[in-house]
Structures are given as structure tokens and as C-alpha cells.
Amino acid sequence: MDRPPARTPGRAAGYNPPNRFDRLAAEAVPDGWPGDGAALPPLRTEVTVERPRSVITRNTSPDIGFDRSINPYRGCEHGCIYCFARPSHAYLGLSPGLDFETRLIARPGAAEVLARELARRSYRPAVIAIGTNTDPYQPIEREHRVMRAVLEVLWEHRHPVGIVTKGAGIERDLDILSRMAAENLVRVGISVTTLDPVLARRMEPRVPAPERRLATIARLAAAGVPVRAMVAPVIPALTDAEIEAILARAAGAGAVAAGWVMLRLPREVAPLFRDWLARHYPGRAARVMARVREMHGGRDYAADWGRRMRGEGEYARMIGARFRLAAARLGLARDLPPLATDRFRVPPRQGDQLSLFGAGG
């Protein structure tokens, strides 16, 4: 376990688990030189640039309500300890632990590639999801502006998009989002996991505070952008008592619908989360994990279609019932109308032949 002393302030993961694809593993071992065991400087965020050849990712998962998505970034500086996307970092030769939140990849040029993909004769529009893997409004978006450029292309093409984020940076793009909302081309999901700022800072160290996220819901709603409040993930014995309070605050801020997802601990996320519990909430760790395993047949996680998002068993049914009752009472138990696909167009580019008519006599 690579856990350099005092090197992780402001990070949720406590170490880098080995990459599951590597044949060799490295381990820090004291070698007797002076200074062994001394605190190392804090880890800084490193950003690498990737020039993508394609940006629309397709999926056929039967329990996901979209078939295409875009990831402006790989890795996420928000560093949520429970993030189910952490294992994807292993495909890049990196660790799902500290690497996931400190060694990030930005994809400038994604907007230009997207424009080419949307212009293909074979392309048929359907909602593109953004933020379902890593957050498009994580802190490095302020500098790299990949999401802004992608959003501009989607607006130019009148293409529908669903965005999920915890980042208040989405407010920067209200100029585009409000225009898209007026044509039924966008909806936004804002995740509020807890109202407790101390808990939030520990498990989501670089995410805006809960009150700030509620303010973002209010700003989006005031601009006419439909917002779904996401109570996600629900963490047994840690955040589950807050479901009704979160929904009430979100409805008061202007959310028009709500959803929930149970804690998911695939692959390396499970040991990272257990380590985090032991460091921050040792008195609750056994109870939390007992509830998690109760919902997954005695395991930390089961990836069965249709059950992985909610779990199964009496506890999972109870959480679902509480959510449904609270959402109904607050007017959040609704299906939003489908986003428009009939406005899609490919805008002319310089050099295109527009028409033989009206070109002058």
C-alpha cells in the first residue's frame, strides 16, 4: 500500500492501489537513509493533454437511460471517495486511488471532433449525456474550458444534452444553457449527497459545499433550466437519514424532479472506501459495510443489471419507499418530458455550397 506520510491533505483517497493490469507491483520500503519516513510535500494536481480521435462514447447497458456520452476529462479532481468511475483510470495505466484525483487528462479539441461526428450523414440525434463518468465542471475546467467548447457545438447543432455535475462552475455557462432550455434541449442533474459540510468535505474534498450546490440549483432554475436533484449516492448508516431533508432543500431551491442511486463500490473503490471509513468514521465502518453487503448478496458490490444502482433486500426497499414518499410529497416525483431531437441541424461551415439559388444573376 503506497501511503506516503502526510502527503494527502485535501484528497479523499489515502493511497494508490496497484493497477490491476500491471504484472509488477511497487511498494515503499524504508532503506535506512537519513530522512526515511519524513513527510513528503502534498500531492499536486497534474494535467496531461489528450488529442481525441473520437469523443462520443456508445453504451448498450440496459439499465442506463442513454446510449451515448461525452467525457471532457479523464479522472476527476473532485476526488469523491465513493466515485464508481475510479476503476476506469486503470485503463490509462494509472491507479484508481490518488492518481484518479491528482493525475488528470484534459481533452482540448474535443469540440472540433464532436462537430465532425455530428456532421456525418449517418448520425441520428439522441440525448448526449455528460458527467456520467467524471465531472465536466471539475476545477480544471476553469482553465481548460473543454466543456464550454463542447456545449457551444451542441448549441450550434441544436443537439439535446443531459448534464450531471456537482460543480458550481456550470453557472458560467448559463448564457448557453438558458437558450438551450428555451428550446427544450437541456436538463441538468445536481448531486447533493449530504447537507453536512464536515462530512461533505471529507468524502468530496474538492466539491463545492452543499449550500453552494443548492444555490446552483436556484440559479439554474431562475434561468429556466430544468434541474433534477440527485441524492446520489445514498450511503447506508452515513447519509441515509438525510434523504427527506435533501429533497426538501432541493425542492425549495427550484428543482423540478429528483432521483437517487445507492452507493456502488466496484473493483478498487471498495478497498479505498473501506480505508476511508476506517480513517474518518471507524465507529460506523462495520455498520456501513454490513448494510452494503446485505444489499449485494454478502459482497461489497454486485454488478447485476437492474440491481447495481439500487441494491436489493429489505433495506434497499425501505430506502426506495422513503425516497418515493418524500419526492411525491414535494412534487418531485415526475418524469420530465423528452428533450427535443427534431431541432437538430448541421450548421454550414466555411466553404460549403449553400444553394445555387439567390447567388446573384
- Start-to-end CA distance of the chain, whole Å, equals 77
**What does the pLDDT read at residue 73?**
98
How confident is the model at residue 356, as a pLDDT?
46
Whether the per-residue pLDDT at 204 is higher than 80: the answer is yes
Position 359 pLDDT exceeds 50? no
- Alpha-carbon span 35 to 252, nearest angstrom: 55
- Strand ranges across the sheet with 73-74: 46-49, 103-106, 73-74
**CATH fold of the domain at 46-329:** pyruvate-formate lyase- activating enzyme (3.80.30)
Contact by Cβ (8 Å): 54, 120 = no
Picking from 168, 163, 155, the residue whose alpha carbon sits closest to that of residue 226 is 163
Question: Are the C-beta atoms of 152 and 114 separated by less than 8 Å?
Answer: no
Please compute the mean of the pLDDT values over residues 85-91 and round it to a whole number.
96
Q: Of 13-22, 67-76, 104-113, 200-209, which gets the smallest average pLDDT?
A: 13-22
Tell me how far apart the alpha carbons of residues 192 and 211 are, in angstroms, rounded to a whole number.
Answer: 9
Give the relative orientation of helices 269-280 and 285-295 as an angle to the nearest 10 degrees: 150
Cα-atom radius of gyration of the chain, to the nearest Å?
22
Q: What percent of the chain has a predicted confidence (pLDDT) above 70? A: 92
Q: Tell me: the pLDDT tens digits for 70-84?
A: 999 999 999 999 999
Residue 47 burial class via C-beta count within 10 angstroms: exposed 0-12, middle 13-18, buried 19 and up: middle
Across the range 275-299, mean pLDDT stands at 97
Range 212-224 average pLDDT: 98
Contact, 326 vs 291, CB < 8 A?
Answer: no
Residue 200 to residue 82: CA distance in whole angstroms: 12
Instruction: Please write the tens of the pLDDT for every residue from 134-145.
Output: 999 999 999 999
Sheet with 57-58: strands ordered across: 57-58, 68-70, 128-130, 161-165, 186-191, 227-234, 257-262
Average pLDDT of the chain? 92
Distance, CA of 183 to CA of 170 (rounded, Å) = 19
Question: Which residue in the block uniquely carries the three cell numbers 502526510?
Answer: 6
Write down the pLDDT at residue 352: 61
| Amino acid identity, position 82 | Y
pLDDT in tens, 30-54: 767 766 666 677 889 999 999 999 9
Task: Give the pLDDT score at 361.
Answer: 38
Give, in degrees to the nearest 5, the angle at Cα 294 between 1 and 89.
Answer: 35
Q: What is the pLDDT of residue 201?
A: 97
**pTM here?**
0.92
